[in-house]
Structure 1
C-alpha cells in the first residue's frame, strides 16, 4: 500500500501567515485616525442666521436675529501699554573684554548720559561672543532698552558670575 504523502503525491500543508509588523502598525494607525476624526467632528451649530426674502424689512427689524451684534474687537479691552522704563532706577555695570583701553569707561559715560545709573566699570576676563547686555530674571525688557540706547544687538540672561540686582554690559569691541 502506498502512503498518501508518498513521493508521487504532494503533501497538503496548512499554515497561517501572520502580517508583518508594518502592516499591523498601519492598520492601527488608520483605526486611530478614524476614531480621532469621529471623536473631534463638530456638531452643526444650533443657531443660524435667518435670511428673509426681500421686502420683509419691517419683520427683520423686530427679529432678534437682525439686531446688530458686537464684534469681538469692539468689546475687547485694549492691551495696556507697559510703563515707560525709568532708566535711573536700574544699576548698570560695564566691563571691557577687548584690547581697547578705556572702552568700558567711554561706554559707561554714554550710558550715564542716556540716563542709566552706572555703578562701575572694569575689565572682564572670560569668553563673550559679542557686545552683550546681561540681565537678571524679570529685567529682560529693561535690558533690551539699555541695549537699544547703547547700540548693542545682543541680550542674554545673566550667568552665575554676575550680580542679580543689576544689568551687566560686556564689551568685546567698539560700539
Structure 2
C-alpha cells in the first residue's frame, strides 16, 4: 500500500509541484494511480488496521484531488500553504471598478432574462473575465509569489464564479 503521509501537502501527495498552473491530466493520472493502490476494495482481506489506513488514504486522495482540481480551491489551498488566509467570509472588500462591473453584469442579467442571445453574449464576457482572472492569479502565485495579491484575486474570482453559475442557470431556464 502507498506510504503517503497525511501530513504531506496535497501537491506532495500526488508528486506535483506546488503551483497554481497545474496540468489537470497529470493530476488525474496521479489520483487514479493512488486510488487504484489504496481503494478499500483492494484491502478487504487485510487486517482492520490495513483496511482503516486504506480508507483514510482513499479519503485523503479524494479530498486532495477535489481541492487541486478546482482553480479557486487550489488557489486558496496554495495561499494557506504560504501562510495567507483569504478570509472570504469576512473580507469582502473589492476594488470599485470590479464592483461596478459586477453591478453591470447583474443589470444585464435582469434586463436580458428572456433573451438567449444576450445571455449568451454576457456568458462569453463573463467567461473572458474569469479566464483573465485565472491568468492574473497564476502570475501572482507562480511567478511573483505574491500570495496576498493572490488572495485578493481569489475573492474576485469567487464573485465571478458565483455570477457565472447564476448566469448558467438563467440560460438553462430558457432552454
Pair member with larger Rg: 1
Q: TM-score, normalised by structure 2?
A: 0.20
Instruction: Give the number of the structure with larger relative contact order, counting CA–CA contacts within 8 Å between residues 6 or more apart.
Output: 2
- Structure with greater strand share of residues: 1
- Structure with greater helix share of residues: 2
